[in-house]
Structure 1
Amino acid sequence: MEIIDTGVLVVGAGFGGIAVAVELRRAGIHDVVVLEASDDVGGVWRDNTYPGAGCDVPSPLYSFSFAPNPDWPRRYALQPDILEYLRRVARRCGLSTVVRFRSEVTSAEFDEGTGRWLVHTADGTRYRARVLVPATGQLSRPVYPAVPGVETFTGPSFHSARWDHGCDLTGKRVAVIGTGASAVQFIPFLQRQAAAVTVFQRTAPYVLPKADRVYTGRVAALLRAVPLLQKLDRLGFWLYTEFAQQCLTKWSLFAPLFTVQARRNLARSVQDERLRATLSPDHRLGCKRVLFSNDYYPALASPTVDVVAGDVVEVTPTGVRTADGTEYEVDVIVHGTGFAATEFLGSMSVRGVGGRTLSEAWRDGARAHLGITVPGFPNLFLVYGPNTNLGGGSIVHMLESQARYIREAVRWLRRHPDAALDVHPEAEQRWDDEVQARLTRSAWTRCRSWYRDARGRVVSIWPGRTFEYRRRTRTLRLADFQIRRSGEAANPPDTAVAS
């Protein structure tokens, strides 16, 4: 079968993949192909269509800096509006000729002889690219509870990220397993539609009120007429989230301010003392994801909703059994159990120098210099890689920083057509040592969460502000890389390329 050649191959057409493709094209780099497994752009905002799905970052900040949107219908956009925004950006930036849909990548191998990546897709198509950019994200693979009997349930059962819109929940007894960010959004919908909802909660989350508001037509007209107002709006939200991120790391003295706010929200929304005790978190704020909602607590306080604290130990053909032996009979099960956030490339197999797989390189935990490059995998640049997620703030800001860094790497490689950039193990080690040391002093090492892998290592979160990350990715330091030519390495000069 014919091999399709390209300069840069991006895997995934969500926020990250779009950011990289647009950044490269804006820099005049047009030999770019984006492979998308689905039939549309959008990533998690295409897949998560559950009722109430939306973002807990204000819309003016949860958008590309190069594509401001004065027409957000509300401060915290819902899934359909975010998906339409991404589609619009892709169209306006000319990505229709770049993205190849229904192209699921199964494997990629680095050819040391040619300095190229050979990439295979599920339909048998092969691509050869000088630069490989996996942008598959951290929240793309749904996780089901690891309890016996999940497959034996005889009624409808689905994950929130694969919502069954054909399932009529009217008058049904519905079980919800999990109380994470997605569940907080769809449980109020279930409470309004189902006859009874049983929520199985392993750990009570902190829930802050959501300062949401509808943007009227007058506001939209004003933002269009005075673009500076959009920038000031975005700046204000950015400064606030930078403060919140710092409170989870260096400025822990201020963290109680958020804890008090969360407790007041709970006390104001739930009058029943026993339920309030059940919903009171027993961990430090921030070590698990902090959630935002105005209707979650009122929904749980409804007489048609029952909150069961403790572990689910079994799913039976007719219901759910907990550790105390009680079985709850239900008609439908909805899994709000999150994603495989620590499996950065999903099922895609990646082999670098010497045939070593990325899973072997990450045997002791995922790690990458700047969250972008991994030793032994030349010209591979991760988007939304290890330790680049945020406890507070907009991930879009981080993705744009990574896209700019990748742009400078690609520019350098275009000027040196026989070279491949392979990050030095020492540079990666220094970065990882710093990140992990800073994390030990943060909120994210104080409890078990999806930020940590099975060994307890925090592989998801960036322990600093987005401003710092932007500054540290602004320069492509060639001294951090060894330059490979036809399978041989040479030490680069101690120079840098500023973005």
Structure 2
Amino acid sequence: MSEQFLPIVIIGAGFSGVLMAVELRKRNIPFVVIEKSEGIGGTWFENTYPGAGCDVLSTLYSYSFAQKPDWSRRFAPHSEIRAYLEECAERYDIRRHIRLGTEVVGARYVAEARRWDVALSNETEIKARAVVFAVGQLNRPSIPSFRGRERFSGVEFHSARWRHDHDLTGKRVAVVGSGASAIQFLPHVAREAKQVILFQRSPNWIIPKNDRLYHEREKRLRKHVPLLMRLQRAWEYLQLELSFPAFLKDSKKGRKWEEACKAAIASAIKDPVLQDAVTPDYPAGCKRVLLSDDWFPTLARDNVQVVTSSIAEFGPSGLLTDDGVSHPVDVVIYATGFETRQVLAPIPIEGARSLSLQDAWQPHPHAYLGVTVPDFPNAFIMYGPNTNLGHGSIVFMLECQARYIGQAIAKVQDAASRAVAPKRHVTQRFNADTQARLSRTVWGANCSSWYKGADGVIVNNWSSTMLRYWWKLRRFKARDYDQW
């Protein structure tokens, strides 16, 4: 096969990878999708814990071109989202291009041939015209290095690797962490376990989710009158977009979120000590604002205890906190999030001039429009640095990226311009503007979050509205790129 007709390699078969495959298929560009898991869905394939679901409205957490009129709830459960992605892969004839159970173990740019050599876990290699990294940011579980953890004789697992074979009925369960996954699974665990001890490092601002089942009449209307579904989606998009100012420093909307959270605490919890323990001391939005209708009532249950002291070490039969208290437990569930600050790790990626992406991204990850990196020709990232949202749907951002990358790849199909990488000064200007805008947001306040790197630089979040991101990526501008 000539270099001109080498396929595009898409790494990952979650929301990003399936979307990118649809875009390339629409353009009649050959591609192959490599997925390390045994199924389609990405994080929705791997996260199967009780209560797993989305905190973005179902109508927006779906592709604009593949609307689903019969979502069961306002906020879809994980099984339904995964089934939706499977359906899209079938409908758009993507499945036959996906290699499941295969992991990418390295990618190297060969400058003289203007191609990427992508090494796979089965000891084979794919020569590619371009590579699209669609691996997401929430796929590598993070577990802190607790002293003595190896001595614990009970069962332990991360929420993203749920042990469905282990019955929690009647067990004493420790939940380490109180983030987005914990607020979904802990209410389910509390209804089964004898005792649940929540080890909370810091509380979160949690506002009512107002979730509910959709009535059959609503589903029928959306199915038979598609305009209603489009209007609902547009209205919900507008509502989320108008909430962005809440993430600016000293915003009134942010204070309203705090008031809503405090009202929910006061309504569900009567113990003033517990009320104080679950009330954050930082501005709303500094960390991810969470949605739940049953979190605070669960914390008020007789069989649930909230511990705010730090874990000092593990013992054979439980955990010891730094206040000297021993907590006997049978099971430890880690709700400690994911490795998000080292984007694309642990894949070794080598660009032009033998430059590794790890070195190029010192001191922190950055990319032009969150999509391309200087000295890495024909390499594209979906859900890359500074493209996460606090207020909207990441699927909207992914659609912007897929169209932009599709335009870029169509450009390099021309033999006169086989490879492109963003100009260094263009990238630097974009990142300087992004960080300047981010400095005016609440994400830079004094709290620890997965949005920021160790140096305090915000490496994950987009700095403005979804509309502004769409505007910047509406068309690929060759003048911003070096031709290789």
TM-score by length of 2: 0.97
SS of alignment partner, residue 302 of structure 1: coil
- Asked if 1:166 is matched to 2:165, the reply is yes
Superposition deviation, residue 384 in structure 1? 0.3
Matches within 5 A, 1:273-292: 273-292=272-291
CA distance in 1 between partners of 2:227 and 2:314 (Å): 54
Partner of 1:442: 441
Post-superposition CA distance 1:184-219 (Å, at most 9, x none): 000101110000000000000011101111112211
Partner of 1:134: 133
Superposition deviation, residue 346 in structure 1? 2.5
- Asked if 1:377 is matched to 2:373, the reply is no
- Asked if 1:26 is matched to 2:26, the reply is yes
Indicate if the aligned counterparts of 1:368 and 1:374 stay in contact, CA closer than 8 A: yes
- Asked if 1:467 is matched to 2:482, the reply is no
CA distance in 2 between partners of 1:310 and 1:461 (Å): 30
- Asked if 1:258 is matched to 2:257, the reply is yes
Superposition deviation, residue 365 in structure 1? 0.2
CA distance in 1 between partners of 2:471 and 2:83 (Å): 31
Partner of 1:489: none
Indicate if the aligned counterparts of 2:38 and 2:100 stay in contact, CA closer than 8 A: yes
How many equivalent pairs are there?
480
Partner of 2:102: 103
Post-superposition CA distance 1:2-24 (Å, at most 9, x none): x9x83211000000111111111
Partner of 1:480: 480
Indicate if the aligned counterparts of 1:141 and 1:346 stay in contact, CA closer than 8 A: no
Partner of 2:320: 321
Partner of 1:412: 411
Partner of 1:175: 174
CA distance in 2 between partners of 1:75 and 1:38 (Å): 28
Amino acid of the structure 2 residue aligned with 1:450: W
CA distance in 1 between partners of 2:325 and 2:253 (Å): 42
CA distance in 2 between partners of 1:24 and 1:251 (Å): 43
Indicate if the aligned counterparts of 1:178 and 1:199 stay in contact, CA closer than 8 A: yes
Amino acid of the structure 1 residue aligned with 2:26: R
Superposition deviation, residue 325 in structure 1? 2.0
Matches within 5 A, 1:4-403: 6-29=6-29, 31-249=30-248, 252-403=251-402
CA distance in 2 between partners of 1:171 and 1:253 (Å): 45
Indicate if the aligned counterparts of 1:14 and 1:43 stay in contact, CA closer than 8 A: yes
Runs of 4+ with deviation above 6 angstroms: none
Amino acid of the structure 1 residue aligned with 2:406: R
Residues 263-272 or 132-141, more deviating: 263-272
Post-superposition CA distance 1:115-155 (Å, at most 9, x none): 10000011111001111100110001000023212232111
Partner of 1:451: 451
Post-superposition CA distance 1:23-59 (Å, at most 9, x none): 1112232x01100011111000000000000001110
Superposition deviation, residue 112 in structure 1? 0.6
Amino acid of the structure 2 residue aligned with 1:27: R
Amino acid of the structure 1 residue aligned with 2:384: G
CA distance in 2 between partners of 1:63 and 1:418 (Å): 34
**Residues 233 and 137 (structure 1 numbering): CA distance in 2 closer, same or farther, change over 3 Å?**
same
SS of alignment partner, residue 112 of structure 2: coil
CA distance in 1 between partners of 2:458 and 2:135 (Å): 19
Amino acid of the structure 1 residue aligned with 2:305: D
TM-score by length of 1: 0.94
Post-superposition CA distance 1:431-453 (Å, at most 9, x none): 11011111111010102111111
Indicate if the aligned counterparts of 2:411 and 2:417 stay in contact, CA closer than 8 A: no
Residues 179-188 or 268-277, more deviating: 268-277
Superposition deviation, residue 392 in structure 1? 1.3
Superposition deviation, residue 456 in structure 1? 1.6
CA distance in 2 between partners of 1:348 and 1:246 (Å): 36
Indicate if the aligned counterparts of 1:249 and 1:463 stay in contact, CA closer than 8 A: no
CA distance in 2 between partners of 1:464 and 1:305 (Å): 39
SS of alignment partner, residue 263 of structure 1: helix
Residues 234-243 or 114-123, more deviating: 234-243
Superposition deviation, residue 418 in structure 1? 5.1
Post-superposition CA distance 1:256-311 (Å, at most 9, x none): 12111111111112111111111001111001011111111111100100000132
SS of alignment partner, residue 70 of structure 2: coil
CA distance in 2 between partners of 1:7 and 1:293 (Å): 44
CA distance in 2 between partners of 1:233 and 1:246 (Å): 22
Amino acid of the structure 2 residue aligned with 1:142: P
Amino acid of the structure 2 residue aligned with 1:463: S
Amino acid of the structure 2 residue aligned with 1:324: D
CA distance in 2 between partners of 1:65 and 1:300 (Å): 38
Superposition deviation, residue 417 in structure 1? 5.4
Superposition deviation, residue 235 in structure 1? 1.1
Partner of 1:488: none
Indicate if the aligned counterparts of 1:246 and 1:465 stay in contact, CA closer than 8 A: no
Point out where structure 1 has 5 or more consecutive residues left out of the alignment: 485-499
Indicate if the aligned counterparts of 1:35 and 1:103 stay in contact, CA closer than 8 A: yes
Superposition deviation, residue 250 in structure 1? 7.3
Partner of 1:494: none
**Residues 417 and 320 (structure 1 numbering): CA distance in 2 closer, same or farther, change over 3 Å?**
farther
Post-superposition CA distance 1:359-398 (Å, at most 9, x none): 0111200000000000110000100000000111110000
CA distance in 2 between partners of 1:433 and 1:473 (Å): 18
- Identity between Structure 1 and Structure 2 (%): 42
CA distance in 1 between partners of 2:354 and 2:455 (Å): 26
**Residues 451 and 380 (structure 1 numbering): CA distance in 2 closer, same or farther, change over 3 Å?**
same
Indicate if the aligned counterparts of 1:6 and 1:33 stay in contact, CA closer than 8 A: no
**Residues 250 and 298 (structure 1 numbering): CA distance in 2 closer, same or farther, change over 3 Å?**
closer
Indicate if the aligned counterparts of 1:249 and 1:464 stay in contact, CA closer than 8 A: no
SS of alignment partner, residue 179 of structure 1: coil
